[in-house]
């Protein structure tokens, strides 16, 4: 039997561990699924239409999206070929090209004319009759014409003969000598230059390599390839550089989307502390549901906008929902993580869209830190969202110029229309988002705290003293929240509903006993404690009945924590009962957030100040009262789960002092004097009066600054 129980316990522990581990990785899986869905949507409605394949006709006419300079290898090749063809050939010069070789050959021909068969007998007789002077003149003529021939190495034979006779007519008028000189030149230059194919190829290659690469520039709107034309490798490279997708499965985009979604989820889970994101009874599942939904809304909205050339406006609803419902620290991390990862997922290979999306997301996140603060109407929210959207559109138009892209008038106009539609949709759907994910925006908090709310109207009519108490607590808590950077509207709403449980039996609470008759005089201490303690349970039931947000419901039990009704407990002991201390303590939990802890302090301070109002004569009396209440809560361990710093507690006490002083502005409250703490001083009298006021009151006994928890 023992082994069976042990095995059963181990199985249950394993299942629990597996469940927790499964949930830990579930957000990552969902985020990756959303990212893959976004990539698939982009591929089906955008990339498939504008994709290309090498060797196939272009499905549409592709235009340049950005200004860019690129190398044109085809034009460079044609220019190199023209330079190569301009070199007819190359020749290797023989010994005739030198003066020494020419002189030697010339003298050989003249001195031994009989050894050469190229001269006719008549020309040989002419050579025999030449004097030394004529020989020298003939040499000068032949040398001059030979130099002209060498300067035109690649003459055709016909052009060569023509050039010789043209020069001969000028240099030698004697026909016989001219004929002799012609024959000598033919013989001397016939084999003087030998063509070399290897040298020709080398010279052509050298000339082609010196041709610079042809660079071309295209501007936005220029045609890259017409519909139906075959996409060559060169055109494909240009289209890819412009951001057009290839007609293959986008494996690169898929991998990038999975990595981006994983890192975004890790960012949200690690940096944006989930313990601060409170969506319904500290429900982590609710937090993740809200954030993953924001991812989906942002990414898919951005992809739908890309069909019309609209970039970066998908962040507009997300920015509004995040900064309206979350603390600044959480909101800025959520906005940046979702917008940057969305830029990677939705931009694909378009670098300009990626840059604009990242910059726009960062701009909107930082700009929104103070845009959605304070009290405002839905109309003002719409106007602020519209202004933010127009700012993004204008900024993108300038970024497009800087990125050598374009935003024509049509795209600009469509973007402005999209801003109007998205702002309207955000304002209209905000109540739905608040209801589904149980989040609180300033608008919802203002609506909840309006005096026309059914619960508040009941408090005014059925428990006016409690209603007045909640308004005073709200004033104290709201001012302190502003001082330390908490949400003042949330504190106002929490104060308005923290005591709604008193509506079940309002006559048992002293603030509603206007006739002066104490209903607890006829009850046993145990019964009185039961009635007082039950207002927490009653309040939670009424909050559920009236569909109050979970965040506000937390104020009902946590503003009392686990404090005890010491007055009734001591009275029960005095009456001879033997009760357990737990019967006189609130069930808790202790405050889990700074907001509920601040309301606990404000509630106790207001009740104590009201009970000791006749004894307060100096500002030091109020200061001492506040110090006493805060110290009692700390000593009782009620603030153990709240990350209050000493500086924040000091600022809270100073704020409460200022608020209480303004409440007593009609009385002659003297400034703090050096006699504080002396025996018989007004401070001591105020404390005694405070005890005297609170002891008979069952409603106030639970809020005494001197009360201790069960473990104190």
pLDDT averaged over every residue in the chain:
78
In a domain, 543, yes or no: yes
The CA distances from residue 111 to 101, 128, 130, in Å, are: 15, 9, 11
Q: How far apart are CA 95 and CA 193, in angstroms?
A: 9
The predicted structure's pLDDT at residue 104: 61
Q: What percent of the chain has pLDDT over 70?
A: 73
Do 416 and 490 reside in the same domain of the chain?
Answer: no
Q: How far apart are CA 321 and CA 444, in angstroms?
A: 12
Q: Lowest mean pLDDT: which of 28-37, 134-143, 487-496?
A: 134-143
CA 532 from centroid of its chain's CA atoms? 50
Do 557 and 652 reside in the same domain of the chain?
Answer: yes
Number of compact structural domains in the chain: 3
Instruction: Over range 122-136, report the average pLDDT.
Output: 69
Bridge partner list, 223: 63
Bridge partner list, 230: 57
In a domain, 376, yes or no: yes
The predicted structure's pLDDT at residue 234: 81
Do 267 and 396 reside in the same domain of the chain?
Answer: yes
In a domain, 160, yes or no: yes
Do 402 and 454 reside in the same domain of the chain?
Answer: no
| 68-71/91-93 β-pairing | unpaired
Do 520 and 643 reside in the same domain of the chain?
Answer: yes
Burial class (CB in 10 A: 0-12, 13-18, 19+), 3: exposed
Alpha helices in 403-449 (DSSP H): 409-437, 442-448
DSSP letter string, 86-127: T----EEE-GGGSHHHHHHHHHHHHH-GGG-TTS-HHHHHHH
Reported as a single tens digit per residue, the pLDDT across 615-658 is 888 888 899 999 999 999 999 999 999 989 999 999 999 999 99
In a domain, 381, yes or no: yes
Structure tokens at 348: 């694909």
In a domain, 398, yes or no: yes
User: pLDDT band at 284, cuts 50/70/90?
Assistant: low
Domain boundary among 408, 439, 470: 439
Q: How far apart are CA 386 and CA 416, in angstroms?
A: 9
Structure tokens at 646: 């000493």
Structure tokens at 662: 């303004």
Q: What percent of the chain has pLDDT over 90?
A: 32
Q: What is the CATH number of the domain that holds 660?
A: 1.10.3210
Is the pLDDT at 100 greater than 70? The verdict is no
The CA distances from residue 587 to 470, 499, 534, 583, in Å, are: 21, 15, 10, 9
CB 536 within 8 A of CB 600: no
CB 47 within 8 A of CB 245: yes
The three-state secondary structure class of 68 is strand
The predicted structure's pLDDT at residue 405: 56
Do 494 and 610 reside in the same domain of the chain?
Answer: yes
Q: How far apart are CA 558 and CA 597, in angstroms?
A: 7
Q: How far apart are CA 17 and CA 11, in angstroms?
A: 10
User: pLDDT band at 613, cuts 50/70/90?
Assistant: confident
Q: How far apart are CA 211 and CA 83, in angstroms?
A: 8
The predicted structure's pLDDT at residue 595: 94
Do 460 and 519 reside in the same domain of the chain?
Answer: yes
Nearest to 601 by CA among 567, 565, 582, 625: 625
Do 491 and 637 reside in the same domain of the chain?
Answer: yes
Nearest to 343 by CA among 322, 364, 315: 315
Angle at 120 between CA 117 and CA 125, to 5 degrees: 115
CB 295 within 8 A of CB 31: yes
The three-state secondary structure class of 585 is strand
In a domain, 617, yes or no: yes
The predicted structure's pLDDT at residue 711: 33
User: pLDDT band at 59, cuts 50/70/90?
Assistant: confident
The predicted structure's pLDDT at residue 196: 55
Do 610 and 470 reside in the same domain of the chain?
Answer: yes
In a domain, 694, yes or no: no
Do 432 and 466 reside in the same domain of the chain?
Answer: no
The CA distances from residue 675 to 173, 613, 627, 671, 683, in Å, are: 142, 20, 17, 11, 9
CB 505 within 8 A of CB 535: yes
Full-prediction pTM beyond 0.85?
Answer: no
Is the pLDDT at 280 greater than 90? The verdict is no
Instruction: Over range 316-323, report the average pLDDT.
Output: 92
Burial string for 151-175 (b: 16+ CB within 10 Å, else e) reads eeeebeeeebeebbeebbeebbeee
Omega before 589 within 30 of 0, i.e. cis = yes
Q: What is the Cα Rg of the chain in Å?
A: 49
Nearest to 534 by CA among 515, 510, 514, 506: 506
Domain boundary among 424, 439, 454: 439
Instruction: Over range 17-43, report the average pLDDT.
Output: 77
Do 141 and 165 reside in the same domain of the chain?
Answer: yes
The sign of the dihedral angle between the CA atoms of 333, 336, 337, 338 is: positive
Number of Cβ atoms within 10 Å of the Cβ of 674: 7
Reported as a single tens digit per residue, the pLDDT across 423-457 is 999 999 999 998 888 888 899 999 999 999 999 99
Q: How far apart are CA 529 and CA 56, in angstroms?
A: 86
φ, ψ at 476 (rounded to 5°) = -65, -50
Nearest to 534 by CA among 583, 497, 570, 580: 583
Do 359 and 467 reside in the same domain of the chain?
Answer: no
The three-state secondary structure class of 271 is coil
User: pLDDT band at 699, cuts 50/70/90?
Assistant: very low
Q: Lowest mean pLDDT: which of 202-216, 388-402, 678-692?
A: 678-692
Alpha helices in 271-377 (DSSP H): 284-306, 315-325, 328-347, 351-367
Task: For residue 391, give its domain range.
Answer: 26-48+257-439
Domain boundary among 161, 176, 191: 191
Q: How far apart are CA 554 and CA 597, in angstroms?
A: 11
In a domain, 115, yes or no: yes
Structure tokens at 10: 């181990």
Instruction: Over range 377-403, report the average pLDDT.
Output: 85
What single DSSP character describes residue 469?
Answer: H
């Amino acid at each position: 039997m023992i082994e069976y129980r042990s095995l059963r316990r181990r199985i249950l522990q394993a299942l629990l561990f597996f469940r927790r581990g499964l949930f830990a990785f579930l957000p990552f899986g969902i985020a990756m699924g959303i990212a893959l869905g976004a990539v698939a949507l982009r591929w089906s409605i955008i990339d498939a239409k504008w994709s290309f394949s090498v060797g196939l006709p272009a499905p549409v006419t592709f235009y340049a999206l950005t200004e860019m300079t690129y190398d044109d290898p085809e034009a460079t090749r044609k220019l190199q070929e023209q330079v190569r063809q301009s070199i007819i050939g190359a020749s290797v010069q023989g010994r005739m090209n030198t003066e020494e070789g020419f002189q030697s050959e010339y003298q050989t021909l003249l001195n031994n004319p009989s050894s050469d068969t190229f001269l006719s007998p008549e020309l040989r007789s002419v050579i025999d009759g030449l004097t030394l002077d004529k020989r020298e003149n003939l040499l000068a003529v032949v040398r001059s014409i030979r130099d002209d021939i060498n300067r035109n190495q690649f003459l055709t034979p016909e052009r060569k003969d023509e050039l010789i006779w043209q020069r001969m007519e000028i240099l030698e008028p004697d026909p016989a000598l001219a004929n002799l000189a012609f024959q000598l030149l033919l013989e001397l230059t016939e084999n003087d230059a030998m063509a070399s194919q290897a040298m020709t190829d080398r010279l052509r290659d050298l000339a082609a390599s010196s041709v610079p690469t042809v660079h071309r520039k295209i501007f936005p709107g220029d045609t890259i390839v017409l519909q139906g034309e075959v996409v060559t490798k060169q055109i494909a490279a240009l289209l890819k550089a412009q951001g057009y997708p290839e007609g293959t499965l986008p494996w690169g985009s898929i991998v990038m989307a999975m990595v981006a979604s994983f890192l975004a989820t890790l960012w949200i889970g690690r940096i944006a502390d989930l313990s601060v994101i409170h969506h319904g009874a500290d429900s982590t599942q609710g937090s993740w549901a809200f954030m993953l939904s924001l991812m989906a809304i942002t990414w898919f909205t951005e992809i739908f906008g890309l069909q019309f050339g609209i970039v970066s406006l998908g962040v507009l609803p997300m920015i509004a929902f995040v900064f309206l419902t979350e603390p600044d620290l959480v909101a800025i991390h959520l906005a940046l993580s979702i917008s940057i990862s969305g830029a990677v997922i939705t931009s694909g290979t378009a670098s300009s869209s990626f840059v604009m999306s990242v910059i726009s997301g960062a701009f909107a996140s930082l700009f929104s830190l103070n845009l959605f603060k304070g009290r405002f109407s839905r109309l003002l929210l719409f106007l602020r969202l519209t202004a933010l959207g127009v700012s993004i559109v204008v900024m993108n138009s300038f970024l497009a110029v800087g990125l050598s892209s374009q935003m024509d008038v049509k795209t600009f106009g469509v973007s402005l229309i999209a801003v109007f539609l998205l702002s309207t949709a955000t304002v209209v759907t905000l109540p739905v988002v608040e209801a589904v994910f149980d989040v609180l925006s300033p608008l919802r908090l203002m609506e909840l705290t309006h005096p026309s709310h059914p619960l508040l109207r009941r408090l005014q009519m059925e428990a006016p003293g409690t209603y007045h108490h909640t308004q005073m607590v709200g004033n104290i808590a709201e001012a302190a929240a502003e001082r330390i950077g908490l949400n003042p509207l949330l504190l106002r709403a929490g104060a308005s509903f923290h005591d709604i449980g008193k509506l079940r039996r309002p006559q048992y609470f002293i603030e509603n006993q206007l006739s002066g008759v104490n209903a607890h005089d006829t009850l046993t201490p145990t019964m009185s404690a039961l009635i007082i303690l039950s207002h927490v349970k009653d309040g939670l039931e009424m909050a559920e009945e009236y569909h109050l947000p979970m965040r506000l419901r937390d104020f009902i039990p946590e503003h009392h924590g686990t404090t005890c009704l010491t007055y009734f407990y001591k009275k029960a002991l005095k009456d001879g009962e033997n009760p357990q201390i737990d019967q006189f303590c609130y069930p808790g939990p202790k405050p889990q957030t700074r907001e509920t802890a601040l309301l606990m302090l404000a509630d106790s301070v207001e009740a104590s100040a009201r009970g000791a109002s006749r004894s307060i004569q100096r500002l030091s009396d109020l200061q001492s009262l506040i110090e006493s209440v805060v110290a009692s809560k700390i000593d009782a361990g009620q603030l153990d789960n709240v990350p209050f710093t000493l500086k924040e507690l000091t600022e809270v006490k100073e704020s409460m002092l200022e608020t209480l002083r303004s409440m007593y502005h009609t009385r002659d409250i003297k400034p703090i004097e050096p006699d504080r703490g002396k025996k018989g001083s007004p401070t001591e009298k105020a404390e005694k009066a405070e005890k005297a006021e609170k002891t008979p009151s069952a409603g106030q006994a639970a809020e005494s600054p001197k009360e201790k928890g069960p473990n104190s």
